[in-house]
């Protein structure tokens, strides 16, 4: 093996290994930093949206209580002749707020006696349900989530007592369209180009998602990562979904215990780190080529050429043709130059 190859090969290998190791370490460090920063941002998204939803739910409760203050609503619990007025009020109120699928009034047995949905009157009953029972005790009741019999959308109801002369005479309830709630607060969340948010019940059933087929059909508690989310209620997690890595932060909606999750594809998150890694790799390759070329020319003109001169001189001497009094034209004063004058 020639001197050039003996010198360049280990040198290039050493530089290559050093660049690969340093690039790998840098990539891992930058990736973790990106994950930490993204976790903070995703957590902020999750907390912000869950707070907005919670505030809206508080507002709906106040609106329900406000409706019970209307005299026509109070009288409608006792007098059939007043109920058309209550129905008209409910219809006007619901038409102005797309979150309300149904606004209705139930008697003391839970039978619906007035509603913005005509088919509900006389056929719908909420008697015996926990949220109705809570309202009958003078409290605000919140129902479990379920599929609406009128729209097939996921809904839940808020019930409050209607009182006349300090006595409970009926129950007013609002059925909130969770699909509309999701359209307003969940689907509007934009995180990068692949990020989105979704909403589940406290136990993990999907309530709002970018893929409508998952609503009320997919339970995240069927997955290891989902069980962890349901248990912890707040935190960060990474999992695979449809073959793509996801980085997700989640938080609970205090009023209902729903889980609000905000996530983004891992590939999008670490794209800058990968770009940096690729750039370092390109710079490293260019560095190897430049250093290799530089070392090659240095060896050729400062080492190999003078050594070749000495070698040729020694060959002439060995053949008996050399002039021992002649000095080769080597101008360097290093060890090779000193060798040529020996």
What does 152-219 look like in DSSP terms, one character per residue? -SEEEEEEEEEEETTEEEEEEEEEEEHHHHHHHHTTT--BTTTBEEEEE-TT-BEEE-SSGGGTTT-B
Mean pLDDT, residues 91-115: 96
pLDDT(157) > 80: yes
Rounded-to-5 percentages of helix, strand, coil across the chain: 50, 20, 25
Encode burial over 230-259: b for 16+ CB neighbours within 10 A, e otherwise.
beeeeebbebeeeeeebbbbbbbbebbebb
pLDDT(325) > 80: no
Mean pLDDT, residues 175-189: 93
Q: In the chain, pLDDT over 90 holds for what percent of residues?
A: 57
Mean pLDDT, residues 137-166: 95
DSSP string, 127-156: TT-HHHHHHHTTS-EEPPPEE-TTT-SEEE
Q: In the chain, pLDDT over 70 holds for what percent of residues?
A: 73
Instruction: Quote the tokens at residue 246.
Output: 């996801």
Mean pLDDT, residues 272-276: 62
Please name which of 252, 261, 254 lies closest in space to residue 61, comparing C-alpha atoms. 254
The pLDDT-based confidence of 268 (bands split at 50, 70, 90) is confident
pLDDT(273) > 70: no
Residues 41-78: pLDDT tens digits? 888 889 999 999 999 999 999 999 999 999 999 999 99
Mean pLDDT, residues 144-156: 94
Determine the pLDDT at residue 181: 95
Q: Is 2 helix (H, G, I), strand (E, B) or coil?
A: coil
Q: What is the largest CA-CA distance in the chain?
A: 137
50 phi, psi to nearest 5 deg: -65, -35
206-208 sheet: strands from edge to edge: 206-208, 196-200, 259-265, 244-252, 235-241
Q: What is the mean pLDDT of the chain?
A: 84
CB within 8 A of 235, min separation 6: which ones?
A: 228, 229, 249, 250
The pLDDT-based confidence of 189 (bands split at 50, 70, 90) is confident
Identify whether the C-beta of residue 171 lies closer than 8 Å to the C-beta of residue 136. yes
The pLDDT-based confidence of 267 (bands split at 50, 70, 90) is confident
Instruction: Quote the tokens at residue 186.
Output: 């969940």
The pLDDT-based confidence of 1 (bands split at 50, 70, 90) is low
* Range of lowest pLDDT (25-39, 112-126, 251-265, 274-288): 25-39
Question: Which has more confidence, 37 or 10?
Answer: 10
Mean pLDDT, residues 210-221: 95
d(CA 207, CA 187): 12
């Amino acid at each position: 093996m020639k001197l050039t190859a003996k010198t360049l090969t280990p040198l290039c290998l050493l530089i290559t290994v050093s660049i690969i190791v340093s690039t790998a370490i840098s990539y891992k460090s930058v990736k973790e930093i990106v994950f930490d920063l993204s976790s903070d941002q995703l957590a902020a998204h999750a907390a912000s949206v869950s707070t907005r939803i919670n505030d809206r739910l508080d507002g709906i409760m106040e609106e329900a209580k406000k409706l019970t203050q209307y005299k026509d609503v109070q009288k409608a619990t006792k007098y059939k002749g007043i109920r058309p007025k209550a129905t008209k009020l409910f219809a006007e109120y619901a038409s102005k707020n797309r979150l309300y699928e149904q606004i209705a009034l139930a008697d003391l047995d839970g039978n619906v006696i007035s509603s913005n949905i005509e088919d509900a009157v006389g056929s719908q009953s909420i008697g015996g349900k926990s949220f109705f029972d809570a309202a009958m005790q003078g409290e605000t009741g919140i129902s479990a989530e379920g599929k609406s019999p009128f729209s097939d959308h996921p809904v839940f109801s808020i019930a409050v007592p209607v009182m006349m002369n300090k006595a409970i005479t009926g129950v007013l309830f609002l059925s909130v369209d969770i699909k509309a709630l999701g359209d307003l607060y969940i689907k509007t969340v934009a995180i990068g180009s692949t990020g989105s948010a979704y909403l589940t019940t406290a136990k993990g059933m999907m309530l709002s998602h970018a893929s409508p087929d998952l609503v009320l059909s997919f339970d995240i508690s069927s997955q290891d990562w989902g069980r962890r989310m349901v248990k912890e209620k707040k935190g960060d997690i990474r999992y695979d979904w449809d073959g793509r890595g996801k980085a997700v932060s989640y938080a609970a909606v205090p009023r209902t215990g729903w889980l609000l999750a905000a996530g983004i594809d891992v590939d999008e998150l670490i794209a800058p780190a990968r770009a940096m890694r690729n750039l370092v790799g390109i710079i490293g390759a260019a560095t190897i080529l430049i250093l290799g070329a530089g070392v090659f020319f240095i060896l050729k003109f400062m080492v190999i050429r003078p050594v070749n001169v000495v070698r040729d001189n020694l060959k002439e001497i060995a053949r008996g043709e050399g002039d021992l009094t002649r000095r080769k034209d080597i101008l360097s004063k290093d060890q090779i130059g000193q060798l040529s004058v020996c």
